Amino acid sequence: MGSNGQSVDSVEVAEPSRTLYDEIGSGYARHRRADPRLAALITAALGDARSVVDVGAGTGSYEPDDRWVVAVEPSAVMLAQRSAGSAPAVQAVAEALPFPNGRFDAAMVVLSVHHWEDPRRGLAELRRVARRRVVLAFDPDVHQQLWLMDYIPELAEVSRGPSVEDVAGGIGADRVSVVPVPHDCVDAMTIANWRRPHAYLDPETRACGSAFRLADSAAVARGIERLAEDLASGRWQRRYGDLLERDELDLGLRLIVAG
């Protein structure tokens, strides 16, 4: 049952094979908390939608609590971390949503399109099941300009997803907005610590970002060692110290909305 008493459609879902987040998703619930500023933008974009499907939902940190939500997530590890009382969840993939046409007022996706096996098919599924589509995604070209990529260029190689134009076209978007990352972002995604370079020296902090988990571990170790040396010598501050005066930074987050 959903929060307003609606029931989840009775569907048979084939259990997905072991997924990426079964491998890298442990501990996400502790650190990947919703940043209230990002959450407010997503909620506003959902508008008057009363029924919402959250695709690639993970632990559900951005799911609104004032409407009926159904989560879709392929990873059993992520599903196991959903809190008691969270929205009902279906184990399935974005490319094959187990719902009839037009089942939901809105579909939401938060930073998962770049992990889908077939983004074009998954985006088409959003259009099929929902009147409105709200996708928070990365512009890969802007995302990869983060100074961290200078130390670990392999992060860029593993985090490239579809272009904003491809996502917008896939969902039939009528608006795309830049979403700057605040300097004190509480969602521990890889880019969150752009003004807190020392945070990247902490293995637990790095474990919260999928790019760190996916990149070659030796390359990550080399880059982090070089970062530690530059922070100790003051070289990082000389190269990037102007960022310490910024309250927010465009690192490629885009809110893409249709309907």
| pLDDT tens profile 17-33 | 345 554 444 555 455 68
With bands split at pLDDT 50, 70 and 90, how would you rate the model's confidence at 6? low
Task: Collapse the DSSP code of 254 into the 3-class scheme (helix H, G, I; strand E, B; otherwise coil) and give the result.
Answer: strand
Residue 252 forms part of a structural domain? yes
Residue 90 forms part of a structural domain? yes
pLDDT digits (tens, 9 = 90+) for 182-232: 999 999 889 999 999 999 999 988 887 888 888 999 999 999 999 999 999
Residue 139 forms part of a structural domain? yes
Mean pLDDT of all residues in the chain? 88
Cα–Cα distance measured from residue 75 to residue 140, given in angstroms and rounded to the nearest whole number:
24
pLDDT at 7: 52
Please state, for a pLDDT cut of 70, what percent of the chain lies above it. Answer: 88
Cα–Cα distance measured from residue 170 to residue 249, given in angstroms and rounded to the nearest whole number:
27
Residue 52 forms part of a structural domain? yes
Element (H, E) at 125: helix 119-129
8/69: higher pLDDT: 69
Residue 78 forms part of a structural domain? yes
Residue with tokens 């490319």: 95
Task: Collapse the DSSP code of 187 into the 3-class scheme (helix H, G, I; strand E, B; otherwise coil) and give the result.
Answer: strand
Domain count, the chain: 1
CATH number at residue 114: 3.40.50.150
Q: Do 112 and 55 contact (CB within 8 A), yes or no?
A: yes
The answer, as to whether pTM is greater than 0.85, is yes
Residue 106 forms part of a structural domain? yes
Cα–Cα distance measured from residue 50 to residue 43, given in angstroms and rounded to the nearest whole number:
11
Residue 229 forms part of a structural domain? no
pLDDT at 130: 98
Residue 65 forms part of a structural domain? yes
Cα–Cα distance measured from residue 68 to residue 8, given in angstroms and rounded to the nearest whole number:
10
Q: Which residues contact 47 (CB under 8 A, 6 or more apart)?
A: 106, 132
State the DSSP string of 38-106: HHHHHHHHHTT-SEEEEET-TT-TT--SSSEEEEE---HHHHTTSPTTPPPEE---GGG--S-TT-EEE
Domain that holds residue 135: 20-143+155-182+247-258
Cα–Cα distance measured from residue 228 to residue 258, given in angstroms and rounded to the nearest whole number:
43
